[in-house]
Structure 1
């Protein structure tokens, strides 16, 4: 039986979790409610645990493939006998995209006979201001 610890967090808080050789899931390319004027008012104050936010994030092209890749990586580690697996799911603020994907990944993995613990590091932190585009 493997122990899987899924941690969601926002890189904008500058206190990323540490673990030896974690599975990294980068959700920064997925749709982000605070960046979208069409849903900002309705979804921003919710978190990735809310079904509407999760559906919004999953509607991003490539979101399902991101989940599939993470699940395969975790399952491969289990097959190779790894007993403790850390999964770090990140976005910029740690309230929407990373939380939604971490929750969906935990639900997908729940069919395995393994212990899964999910922790959302920044889910209750204030929403961070949008990052300025990189200077060219």
Structure 2
């Protein structure tokens, strides 16, 4: 069983959504009904050997990794699409369920973590109680 790392920004009040990042390459996808966001179209790994080496020893919680992933073409589109879908589910009339979001990449250490954290921050800014769980952040980098 892998360790999980809860995001650093728990929301005040009622948690309305839980965002789980994970790596598809670990073959233990989170179960349950959830909005799924695939971040694999974002570039990885970096071609610059210095950046690549730094990322091998860091996670999506590292500011350098966050800047790299956020600068990737398609990042804003993926995050905005996930936000729009989550807000639509949260706004359903008579909703009596928590909206879970599963964010995947290959290994669960970089792209999925950054997108999950960004999505949580935007939901929190909209007054939505959101927290993150990073399922594979402590696992070794997959080759």
- Alignment TM class, shorter chain as reference: 0.7 to 0.9
- Asked if structure 2 preserves the Cα contact closer than 8 Å seen for 1:2 and 1:78, the reply is no
The one of 25, 29, 32 aligned to 1:19? 32
Over residues 56-109 of structure 1, what are the superposed CA-to-partner deviations in whole Å (9 max), with x where a residue is unaligned?
111111110110000000111111143310100000100000001101111111
Identify the range of structure 1 (95-104 vs 49-58) with the bigger mean alpha-carbon deviation. 49-58
Over residues 7-57 of structure 1, what are the superposed CA-to-partner deviations in whole Å (9 max), with x where a residue is unaligned?
00000000000112x11110001122xx22312112221100111111111
Please state whether the residue corresponding to 2:125 is helix, strand or coil. Answer: coil
Please state whether the residue corresponding to 2:22 is helix, strand or coil. Answer: strand
For 1:110 and 1:67, the matched residues in 2 are separated by 14
User: What's the CA shift for 1:2?
Assistant: 6.1
**Which 4+ stretches in 1 moved above 3 angstroms?**
none
Higher relative contact order, chain-length normalized (CA < 8 Å, sep 6+): 2
Query: What's the TM-score, normalizing by structure 2?
Result: 0.82
- 1:9 corresponds in structure 2 to 22
* 1:64-79 correspondence runs (5 A): 64-79=76-91
The one of 37, 42, 45 aligned to 2:47? 37
For 2:15 and 2:46, the matched residues in 1 are separated by 38
Q: Which stretches in structure 1 are left out of the alignment for 5+ residues? A: 130-136
- Asked if structure 2 preserves the Cα contact closer than 8 Å seen for 1:2 and 1:85, the reply is no
- 1:120 corresponds in structure 2 to 134
Query: What's the TM-score, normalizing by structure 1?
Result: 0.86
- For the aligned residues, what is the CA RMSD? 1.4
